Structures are given as C-alpha cells and as structure tokens.
Amino acid sequence: MGEIVGIVSGKGGVGKTTLCARLSLALCADGQKVLCIDGDTGMKNLDLVLGMESRTVFDLDDVLSGRTPFEKAVCRHPDAPGLFLLSAAHDYRARIGKEALRALCDEQKEHFDFILIDAPAGLGDGFAAVAYAAERLIVVATPDVTSIRDAGRTATVAREGSGKRAELVLNRVRPLLMEKGAAANVDEIMDRIGLPLLGLIPEDDEIVIRAGGTGAGRKVSDSDIPFRNTAARLRGKSVKLAGVWKKYLLKNGWR
Ligand SMILES: Nc1ncnc2c1ncn2[C@@H]1O[C@H](COP(=O)(O)OP(=O)(O)OP(=O)(O)O)[C@@H](O)[C@H]1O
Ligand SMILES: [Mg+2]
C-alpha cells in the first residue's frame, strides 16, 4: 500500500515542482513505483520539468470529472519505467475537488509505492485539496526570510488543519553564506518554521539545466545525491545529513 505525499509551500517559486520531479526519479531509481500528480492547475509545470509535455493528452480534470479513465490519462516516463504522471488540467480555470482527489489517491495507492502531489503555492483552494488528499506533507522553503515566514505559516495551517505528518525540505541552500553568517543557518530555520528536516538541497545550476527533460532520469549526476538522500529518508531510511553534505559540497568545490 503506497503513501500519499503532498508537496506544498507558502511562497511561490521555491522548488516544489523541481522537488516533485527529482524526488520521483530518485524513488524510481531505488525501485519504487511512483505516481506524480500535478495539482497546480493554474501554473501547470510538472510535465515540462519531467520532459513529458508531448505525452500528456488527458489530464487530472478529465479523470476527476469522470470523462476519462485514470489508466487512459496517466503517462509513463520515457526513461523511468516506474514513474507515471497525471498532468494538471489544461484549462487553468478548472478546480480540483478535494473529495474527488482524495478518492482518486486512495484508490490508486494500492497500485503505487508513492503518490506525490505537486501543489500550487500559498494557502488557497488548491493547497487545501492537496493537504486533504495527502497523508503526509513536505513543506518546501528556501533560506530567504520571506520564504521562512511563509513556510512557518504553512506548517501551522497544516498542523492545525489536519494534524498530518509534515516535514521540511530546505532548497537552494548556499552553505558559504551560512558559514559566513550572512544567511540563517539550518538549525535556526528549522526552529523558525517548526518542522523536522527531511532534506537539504543546495543551490545548483545543474538542477536548472536538467529540468525540462534535458537529461532528467537518463544519466546519474551529482545533483541526484541530495534528492536520493531525501528519497531514502522519505522511505524511513536513516541517512546522515552532515556526511552527505560534506561529500556533495567538496565535489562542487564549495570548500
Ligand atoms: N536547488 C536549486 N538550485 C537552483 N535552481 C533551482 C533549485 N531548485 C529550483 N530551482 C529553480 O527555481 C525555479 C522555480 O522552481 P520550481 O518551478 O520548482 O518552483 P515551484 O515552487 O514549483 O514554483 P511555483 O510556486 O510557481 O509552482 C526554477 O527555475 C528551478 O529550476
Ligand atoms: Mg510549481
């Protein structure tokens, strides 16, 4: 029986879609069968980041409204056979019914190890539907003050509204700035947001370059390491943060 994970954030543009795509690929590389659902109807991006935009004909709205069977609408990733995508509605005005989304996820979790749902930013209806359908939430934030505050609010809403397990992935971390004391360090950020840490992802140009299907899932690269470790922690495995960071940062010439 799979687990339904919502990927949410307060502030927009912090890396939810990137995390959803790379985490899914990392889980698949570890033998897991993953369904990615793009729950961001307004700013549908997951198909692009996964390099699957030419494959999606039907979408989440087609399935939720009963026009198209799930099996017909879902698309398999060209390079990661265990990864399936249900794209966001083509019509940006479509609304996601929270009961319908939960029913779909509950039905499909028998067939997948993980269902990852990419949410829209903020605390609107899209967030509410994803938070309702998910069993567990990943709040994504960057070390910026605005993102930290917004992630804190999101964590509070998630805790108060659902009491579901929620964890933090801190993205676009620049360790040199933290070392110099020019940016808040990881412990301070965790305290302010009030969530346990699931993953740390560094600022990395390769993450941008590999988005959009230019290699996603095809070649193993150093930029996979933080996503693979986050995926392992999501599966309940213990991966030491410090060691991972040291190795990764040294490889990238940051020290
Ligand atoms: N670790 C990283 N290092 C460098 N760039 C990154 C990193 N993570 C994400 N980005 C870049 O940041 C931008 C925003 O990422 P993304 O679209 O995943 O954010 P989002 O939270 O899904 O945005 P939205 O709220 O609009 O849905 C993209 O250009 C992406 O390539
Ligand atoms: Mg997004």
Report the pLDDT value the prediction gives residue 249, as an integer from 0 to 100: 60
Which atom, in ligand 1's list, is nearest to the CA of 13? 23
The model's pLDDT over 33-45, given as tens digits with 9 standing for 90+, comes to 999 999 998 788 9
**Tokens 């004909």 found at:** 57
pLDDT value at 101 more than 90: yes
Q: Whose CA is nearest to atom 14 of ligand 1?
A: 13
Q: What is the C-alpha R_g of the chain?
A: 17
pLDDT value at 176 more than 90: no
Pocket test for ligand 1, best of 17, 18, 200, 230 (most atoms within 8 A of CB): 18
Report the pLDDT value the prediction gives residue 139, as an integer from 0 to 100: 96
Q: Whose CA is nearest to atom 30 of ligand 1?
A: 208
Report the pLDDT value the prediction gives residue 174, as an integer from 0 to 100: 86
Between the alpha carbon of residue 223 and those of residues 15, 62, 100, 157, 184, the distances in Å are 14, 35, 36, 32, 23
Of 19, 32, 21, 29, nearest to 198 by C-alpha is 19
The stretch 51-61 carries a mean pLDDT of 91
pLDDT band at 52 (very low <50, low <70, confident <90, very high): very high
Average pLDDT, the chain: 88
Which atom, in ligand 1's list, is nearest to the CA of 18? 18
The stretch 206-224 carries a mean pLDDT of 68
Report the pLDDT value the prediction gives residue 184, as an integer from 0 to 100: 81
What is the C-alpha separation between 228 and 226, in angstroms, rounded? 5
The model's pLDDT over 129-161, given as tens digits with 9 standing for 90+, comes to 999 999 999 999 999 999 999 999 999 988 887
* SS3 annotation, 184-206: CCHHHHHHHHCCCEEEEEECCHH
pLDDT value at 218 more than 60: no
Residues with CB under 6 A from ligand 1: 9, 12-18, 40, 43, 45, 121, 171-172, 201, 203-204, 207-208, 211
Beta-sheet strands, E only, within 40-126: 75-76, 83-86, 114-118
Ligand with minimal distance to 121 CA: 1
Q: Which residue has the higher pLDDT, 214 or 147?
A: 147
pLDDT value at 255 more than 50: no
Looking at 1.10.10.10, 3.40.50.300, 3.30.70.980, 3.40.47.10, the CATH number of the domain 3-251 comes to 3.40.50.300
Ligand with minimal distance to 16 CA: 1
pLDDT value at 178 more than 80: no
pLDDT band at 194 (very low <50, low <70, confident <90, very high): very high
Provide the greatest CA pair distance for the chain. Answer: 56
The stretch 105-115 carries a mean pLDDT of 97
Of 4, 7, 14, nearest to 39 by C-alpha is 7
The stretch 6-31 carries a mean pLDDT of 95
pLDDT value at 123 more than 80: yes
What is the C-alpha separation between 156 and 163, in angstroms, rounded? 10
**165 has which bridge partners?**
136
pLDDT value at 168 more than 90: yes
Pocket test for ligand 1, best of 206, 208, 209, 223 (most atoms within 8 A of CB): 208
Report the pLDDT value the prediction gives residue 216, as an integer from 0 to 100: 46
| Beta carbons of 88 and 40 less than 8 angstroms apart | yes
Main-chain phi, psi angles of 229, to 5 degrees = -70, -40
The stretch 184-188 carries a mean pLDDT of 85
